Amino acid sequence: MKVPLLSFTHRYVPGTGTTLKTTLLLLHGTGGSETDLLDLGRELLPGATLLSPRGKVLENGMPRFFRRLAEGVFDLEDLERRTHELADFVREACDAYALDPDGIVAVGYSNGANIAASMLLLRPETLAAAVLFRPMVPMVPSRLPDLKGRSVLVAAGQVDPIANSSQTKKLVEMLSGAGANVAMHKHAGGHELGNDDVAAAQTWIREHVANKEAR
């Protein structure tokens, strides 16, 4: 299939089987690419459509989805602009690939999880659900959106030096306060992903995405 010229360099993998309505929006971490999370996506929900963009911001040559001023200090103006830019890309991709706009599930790691969380806060209509691996609080909106009916899994590392427990707690409280159904998974390690993270996300997706689609 010829890849349409959209606003982000990306990979698209058509869905098969019983999960045709679901598209996993795969959002890599700092230094990643549009291919990094494809295998993870296949593992989390076999047969799902995969849409994986590459972040446009370069930090010392490493792709990211938005700028930061220092470790854990985000350029909030750039974050807001890039969040809308990414949400617009998702809408473009839905038109180009005939995707169900109500079936977009973000799967983000680190920087990718942060911009997915930002989309939930600024452009909530873009996502039906989200799996956030090692997220931080990306920003605090002036007004919380209505996230009722949306489900979110937050997977945190208990000794993560980057996305620490206070950040995780604040994000969970913010999303829950906006009405989202938020579940937590705690990994015994740090910022890296573990097999238990993947297993927890598989179980969560089966319950909140695959089974819902089958009904």
First to last CA, the chain: 30
33 is known as an active-site residue: no
In this structure, is the dihedral angle defined by the CA atoms of residues 79, 131, 20 and 3, taken in order, positive or negative?
positive
Candidate list 110, 118, 185, 197, residue with the active-site label: 110
DSSP β-bridge partners for residue 68: 74
Could you give the angle at which helices 111-122 and 76-97 cross, rounded to 10 degrees? 80
* Closest-CA residue to 11 (of 34, 41, 36): 34
Cα–Cα distance for residue pair 67/76, rounded to 1 Å = 8
Q: Does residue 196 carry a catalytic annotation?
A: no
**118 classed as catalytic:** no
Which of the following is catalytic: 78, 100, 191, 196?
Answer: 191
Residue of 10, 160, 187, 208 with catalytic role: 160
SS in 3 state form for 26-71? EECCCCCCCCCCHHHHHHHCCCCEEEEECCCEEECCEEECCCEEEC
Catalytic annotation, residues: 110, 160, 191
